[in-house]
Amino acid sequence: MFSSYLSAFITFIALVIIVSFVTYVGGVYWGIAGCIVIAYYNLAFSQAVLPNKRLKRKVNIFFLNFIIALPVMLSMNQIFLYIKNGEMNGGLFLLYLSITPIILFVMASWRKIVNFNWKEYRDKQNHLKKVRDDRLRDETEKAEKNREKEKVESVYYAVIEKPDKIKKFLKSTEQLAGKTKFKKSNAYNLAFYSSKLILKGLEDKNADFSLQVFNNYIDNIFPQVGSCQYRTNIIGNSLALAIMYKLDEVSEKVFSIILGDDFNVLEIENKLVVYNLACYYSINKEKEKMLEAIRQAVKQGKEKAQFLADEDFKAYWKDKSFLLAVEKEK
C-alpha cells in the first residue's frame, strides 16, 4: 500500500513538472488542461486503491486534486521563468505556493462542516436539555414536597405545645390529603404525624384527642392518599386506643378499612402492631388468631415477660398453648 502511494506521489510530481513546462511553452490554457489530466489520474488511482461508487465522492476527489495541482503548477511555472530569464516574480511565486495549504485547510474545514453529524448533535443537545429540565423539575418537586412536609410539621408541633390547636391540624391535613400531586409523600407524612398524635393522646390519657385524629385519618386522609409504609404505626396505635378504651368502632374501622378482610398477620413486619393484634384477639377470645399473632410477635423480638405481665392475656396465663407460643424458638 505504501509503495503504491509513493509511486502515485512521484507520478503526481512528475506530471506537475511536465504540465508546468507545457504551460511555460504553450500558455496557461495548456496548464489548466494538464491539471485536469493530473486530477483525472489521481481519481483513477484513488478508485483503484479505495473503490467508491458514489458520484459525489468521485467529483470531490477530482476537484480537490485539480485545485491542488493548479497552484503547484503555477509555482513551478515561475521557476521555469526564472531558469530562462533569470528573473522571478517572488510575490506571485509565494502566493501560488501558499495557495495549496490554504486550499487544503479550507477543504478540510468545509468537509468537516459538510460531514458533521447534525442529527447526532441535535439529539445530544436535546438529551442535555432533557437532563437539565428533569433535574430542575426534580429540584422543584423536592422543594414543594419539603414545603408540604413543613406545613404538617408546623401544625403538628403547634399541637404538641398546645393540644387545643388540634382542629387546625385536622383541617390542614385534610386539605393536604386532597392534593394529588405528591400523593405518595403526603401519604407517608400524614400517616406519620397522625400516628404520633394518636400516641400522644394515649400517653396523655386523652381518648377524645386520639379519637379525633384517628377519625380524621380514616374519614378524610386514608380514602384520598391510600396506604403507605407507615400505616402499620397507625394500625398499632389505633388498636391500642380501641383496646384501652373499649372502642369497638375503632377496631372495626382498622380491620375493615386499613387492614382489609384478606390481611395476613405473618406479612406484618412491625412487632408493636402484631403485639396489639394479639392483645385484641385475646380480649375478643379469638385464641387461634391470638396464638398466631403471639408467635409472630415473639419472632420479631417481643419478650415472654411482656405477655405474662399484660392483663390483656390474663385469661391465658396458665394455658399451655399460650405458654408454648410465648417461648422463643431455639
User: Rounded distance, CA 302 to CA 326, Å?
Assistant: 9
User: Rounded distance, CA 95 to CA 99, Å?
Assistant: 6
Task: Say which range, 107-111, 189-193, 233-237, 303-307, has the weakest mean pLDDT.
Answer: 107-111
Query: Cβ-count burial of 224 within 10 angstroms (0-12 exposed, 13-18 middle, 19+ buried)?
Result: middle
- Residues 6 or more apart whose Cβ sits within 8 Å of residue 133: none
For 176, how many CA atoms within 13 A lie in the half-sphere containing its CB? 30
Q: What pLDDT score was predicted for residue 226? A: 83
Question: In the chain, where are the structural domains located?
Answer: 2-116, 148-325
pLDDT in tens, 278-287: 999 999 999 9
pLDDT average, residue stretch 272-292 = 93
Cα–Cα distances (Å) from 322 to 77, 174, 285, 314, 327, in that order, read 116, 43, 13, 11, 9
pLDDT average, residue stretch 211-227 = 91
Q: What pLDDT score was predicted for residue 325? A: 93
Q: What pLDDT score was predicted for residue 78? A: 66
pLDDT average, residue stretch 256-284 = 89
1 pLDDT band, cuts 50/70/90, is very low
pTM of the model: 0.61
Q: What pLDDT score was predicted for residue 56? A: 55
Mean pLDDT of the chain, nearest integer: 79
More confident residue, 22 or 189: 189
pLDDT in tens, 184-208: 778 888 889 999 999 999 999 999 9
